[in-house]
Amino acid sequence: MSKAWKQAMAGLAMVIPSFAVLLVVVIIPVIQSLLMSLSNGEGGYDLSRYQLLFTDKGLRANILFTLRITLITCALVLLISYVLAVYMRFNKGPIVELIRKTYMIPLFIPGVIATYGLINLLGNHGWLARWLDGTGILLPRIIFDEKGIIIANLWFNIPFTTMLLSSALAGIPASVIESAKDVGAGKLQLFTRFIFPLTYKTFLVALTFVFMGVIGSFTAPFLLGANSPQMLGVSMQQVFSVFQEREQAAAMAFFSFLLCSVLGAFYIRSMAREENVKM
């Protein structure tokens, strides 16, 4: 047996376990959901379940609501996380040290506990409302609508995104920044021509993780969201368990998978284009 053949077999042996897990956890369930969503209940297959997603007023409102929450959350998370990461990278002092020591704390708090804490903090009878009531200020409605879902998703996603971006920023050589400053580059030019291009790959990774996490979230939308419209995760649960419409729930699940696949394809294409440019 030649050396090249042995190396090929060794590589295949290392890939097979990962592929087997991917097959069982992702590929087979996706195919099953697709087949179930195409079933018309009469032994045939059609696109009636998907047509209902866009013709039914309630389902269409849920899709638009989910996309709006996801896009707003992604924009806010990436903006806040980038500001925090840049501030920690290029500044020193007690405030920076405090941020470094505390910004990861939300990662270690379970989602249900964090959501319950937000309810006790920002609810109509939460401690913040009771404190403001003593001052004569009426606390506006913050949770149990889209604002509450966005706040919860910011809590869940900012720490991890900040960690990713901080790692990317830490990899930028100080000599690059100093050289740019020496030739007269301002702060805006430093960011647009050096910092952001050098962290663009990590930025896309963070965007992908946040998008997929928010669009498939359930705990916060279920506990903090309104009855209507609903995020797709909550809507799927209602359709599946309350209305017992498994095929329609499968169509919603596969549609969510397609939404995530669009961003995934964009990420892969961007990475492939970047590799081609380097070559």
Q: Per-residue pLDDT tens for 99-135?
A: 998 989 998 999 899 999 998 888 877 888 888 877 8
Q: Is residue 6 part of a domain?
A: no
- Does residue 230 belong to any structural domain of this protein? yes
pLDDT in tens, 208-262: 999 999 998 999 999 998 888 999 999 999 999 888 899 999 999 999 999 888 8
List the domain range (segments joined by +) for residue 89: 57-278
60 pLDDT tier (thresholds 50, 70, 90): very high
Q: Is residue 13 part of a domain?
A: no
In a domain, 37, yes or no: no
CATH, residue 122: 1.10.3720.10
Q: How many domains does the chain have?
A: 1
Token pair recorded at residue 274: 């970047």
Chain centroid, CA 95 distance in Å: 28
Per-residue pLDDT, 215 = 92
The torsion angle over the Cα atoms of residues 110, 77, 81 and 113, rounded to 10 degrees, is: -10
Q: Is residue 234 part of a domain?
A: yes
134 in any annotated domain: yes
Nearest CA to 248 among 64, 70, 41? 41
pTM, two decimal places: 0.86
